Homo-oligomer: A and B are copies of this chain.
Amino acid sequence: MNIEVVAVGTELLLGQIVDTNSSWIGEQLAAAGLNSYFQTKVGDNPARIREVLELALSRSDAVICCGGLGPTQDDLTRDVIAEVMGVELVTDDALVAKIANMFSSRGRRMPENNLRQAQVPKGARAMDIQPGTAPGLICPIDVTDGDGTKTSKVIYAVPGVPYEMKKMVEGVIIEDLIARSGEVAVIRSRVLRTWGMSESGLAEILADRIVELDNIGNPTLAFLASGVEGLKVRITAKAADDAAAQEILDAEEAQLLPIIGEWVFGRDEQNMEAVVIAKCAELGFTLAVAESVTGGYLSGRLCAVPGASAVFKGAVVAYDPAVKHNILGVPEGPVVSEETAVAMAQGVREALGADIGIATTGVAGPEELEGNPVGTVCLAVAAADGAIATTVQMPGDRERIRQFSTIAVLNMFRKTLL
């Protein structure tokens, strides 16, 4: 089964937004064992959108069309799909009620324009999952080819807002495509999340196994550097059913863990924050954070973990050095030092009444500080009975420095918990 992706939006052609949606969708299709041979970007022009959709339908079995479902006059995807299907747009009363309710629950009046979003090509239906005002659409269509054969195909229309698009692709489209494909094979992946070894380092350590897997062909291995989410090692298996796929994944994980286990901190959706929060909850520890170089980012990551409130007390962002002294009781001295990091961790632990304090201080750039180059970061973890600290040199820009500092200090803490 071949699936084609069409991204709609003049801003994509003008390079004002990079089309990451198509790439992400391509990744999901590949993971599900679905082929995808073409991806096209087209502007907000009805004739050209139609041309692209008709071409895509002629050469692929299904089309995922991304963008152009907003409430304004330049959102044309609904109208063009109705044209391609040769049907009228009809107002879906259930959608009107749903959208009106989104506004009224926020105490706002629904603008007249949003009624456009409740219009659906006749014969199409809205997806159940709808995170925003734009409904996703499933539009079945019979395509007649050169020799008169009719084939049932489908256009999925999803909003261009990445969050909304992802929910619909994950929750509705992939499943629908697999059902349509009629194949009984399933593709399942498992991610081993690692920290502390580079991508090329892991590839080198696993070189023999990679060659073996290339010969066997199933499962496959892939490496994905993912910033604060860690360096992911993804195992993908194809099998007749879920149980058989899980068996292959289990066997491969058992092969890999003796080789790379010391860097593995989590599986699948478990990020470093989630692992640390869960371990603290299990041990009954509470946690407080003092941040300078990470500026609130570390705290924000911890708060995003469901159930964080049982463990995480809060944070002090000491951007001005005076805050380090006044709130955290850090003695005068250099900003970027392990002593300061430890004093911050101890200070926030006491100030917020937590069992454990963790701290980051360093040089986010653009200029060096106290003779330390950009990317120098001191990390500390403190408890009532002592503290540990380390200095690391991070690569790259401000954003990567704060991501790497965050995962590195949490990993340091995690190791002390084991």
Asked if A38 CB lies within 8 Å of chain B CBs, one says yes
A contact residues, total (Cβ < 8 Å): 113
Chain B residues positioned under 8 Å from A24 (CB to CB): 15
Tell whether, in the assembled complex, residue A13 and residue B41 are in contact, meaning their CB atoms are under 8 Å apart. no
Cβ-closest chain B residue relative to A301: B296
Asked if A329 CB lies within 8 Å of chain B CBs, one says no
Residue among A38, A306, A364 with most chain B CB within 10 A: A38
For chain A, what secondary structure do more than half of its interface residues adopt (helix, strand, loop), or is it mixed?
mixed
Tell whether, in the assembled complex, residue B37 and residue A43 are in contact, meaning their CB atoms are under 8 Å apart. yes
Asked if A18 CB lies within 8 Å of chain B CBs, one says yes
Cβ-closest chain B residue relative to A161: B225
Tell whether, in the assembled complex, residue B39 and residue A71 are in contact, meaning their CB atoms are under 8 Å apart. no
Within 8 A of B (CB), among A230-267: 234, 236
Tell whether, in the assembled complex, residue B326 and residue A111 are in contact, meaning their CB atoms are under 8 Å apart. no
Chain B residues positioned under 8 Å from A214 (CB to CB): 73
Asked if A185 CB lies within 8 Å of chain B CBs, one says no
Chain B residues positioned under 8 Å from A322 (CB to CB): 313, 353
Complex alpha-carbon distance, A287 and B324, angstroms: 16
Interface string of A282-306 (1 = CB under 8 A from B): 0000100101001111111111101
CB distance from A402 to the nearest CB of B (A): 8
Asked if A132 CB lies within 8 Å of chain B CBs, one says yes
Tell whether, in the assembled complex, residue A15 and residue B23 are in contact, meaning their CB atoms are under 8 Å apart. yes
CB distance from A58 to the nearest CB of B (A): 11
Binds B, one of A80-88, A119-127, A194-202: A194-202
| 7 other A-B residue contacts (CB within 8 Å) besides A15-B27, A37-B42, A72-B203 | A14-B26, A70-B223, A74-B223, A107-B393, A163-B400, A299-B317, A313-B323
Chain B residues positioned under 8 Å from A161 (CB to CB): 225
CB distance from A296 to the nearest CB of B (A): 3
Asked if A156 CB lies within 8 Å of chain B CBs, one says no
Within 8 A of B (CB), among A12-56: 12-20, 22-28, 30, 36-45, 48, 52, 55
Within 8 A of B (CB), among A333-392: 351-353, 364, 366, 373, 375, 392
Q: List 10 A-B contacts (CB under 8 A).
A: A13-B26, A15-B26, A15-B30, A16-B224, A18-B20, A37-B43, A71-B199, A105-B393, A295-B299, A314-B319
Asked if A399 CB lies within 8 Å of chain B CBs, one says yes
Tell whether, in the assembled complex, residue A318 and residue B314 are in contact, meaning their CB atoms are under 8 Å apart. yes
Chain B residues positioned under 8 Å from A396 (CB to CB): 131-132, 163
Tell whether, in the assembled complex, residue A395 and residue B106 are in contact, meaning their CB atoms are under 8 Å apart. yes
Chain B residues positioned under 8 Å from A314 (CB to CB): 316-320, 323, 327
CB distance from A12 to the nearest CB of B (A): 7
CB distance from A40 to the nearest CB of B (A): 5
Tell whether, in the assembled complex, residue B13 and residue A36 are in contact, meaning their CB atoms are under 8 Å apart. yes
Within 8 A of B (CB), among A210-225: 210, 214, 222-225
CB distance from A37 to the nearest CB of B (A): 6
Chain B residues positioned under 8 Å from A276 (CB to CB): none
Asked if A112 CB lies within 8 Å of chain B CBs, one says yes
Asked if A398 CB lies within 8 Å of chain B CBs, one says yes
Chain B residues positioned under 8 Å from A17 (CB to CB): 23, 224
CB distance from A122 to the nearest CB of B (A): 24
Tell whether, in the assembled complex, residue B111 and residue A204 are in contact, meaning their CB atoms are under 8 Å apart. yes
CB distance from A72 to the nearest CB of B (A): 4
Asked if A189 CB lies within 8 Å of chain B CBs, one says yes
Asked if A10 CB lies within 8 Å of chain B CBs, one says yes
Asked if A315 CB lies within 8 Å of chain B CBs, one says yes
Complex alpha-carbon distance, A111 and B223, angstroms: 15
Asked if A309 CB lies within 8 Å of chain B CBs, one says yes
Cβ-closest chain B residue relative to A354: B320
Chain B residues positioned under 8 Å from A400 (CB to CB): 163
CB distance from A218 to the nearest CB of B (A): 14
